[in-house]
Structure 1
């Protein structure tokens, strides 16, 4: 994983466990769109997890996060 993505992942991994929870991803996305209601993001977050949580454990590992950040450049900045 590149240093850029590692730093971004670490910023979003607020509990430092090496995995992103639904709440952590929701907070990251909500931070990109501060005017959006978090409840309005639930469908988007579910869709992101369906697509990027490849091992279906309900969490995003760093390896699963990179393709998401690559496809959503605002998340990686």
Structure 2
């Protein structure tokens, strides 16, 4: 994983446990968009986890985060 993705992942991994929770991903997305635009994030976050949580453990590892960041440049992964 590139240093850029490592830094972005670490920024969103607020508890530093090496994986992103649903709450951490929701907070990251909420920080990118005004609340008026997004409303309820739960459906979006569920959809993201359904697609990118490839091992189905309910968390996003750093390796699972990279494809998500590449698909959502707003997360800071746009090089």
What TM-score range do you get, normalising by the shorter chain? Answer: over 0.9
2: distance between equivalents of 1:43 and 1:23? 13
Moved over 6 A (4+): none
For structure 1, the 5+ residue unaligned runs are none
C-alpha RMSD over aligned residues: 1.6
1:12-45 CA deviation, whole Å, 9 max, x = no partner? 0000000000000000000001324876110000
What is the TM-score with the length of structure 1 in the denominator?
0.93
- Corresponding position of 1:57: 57
What is the TM-score with the length of structure 2 in the denominator?
0.91
For structure 2, the 5+ residue unaligned runs are none
- Does residue 9 of structure 2 align to residue 9 of structure 1? yes
Q: Number of aligned pairs?
A: 77
1: distance between equivalents of 2:36 and 2:45? 13
1: distance between equivalents of 2:24 and 2:18? 12
- Corresponding position of 1:20: 20
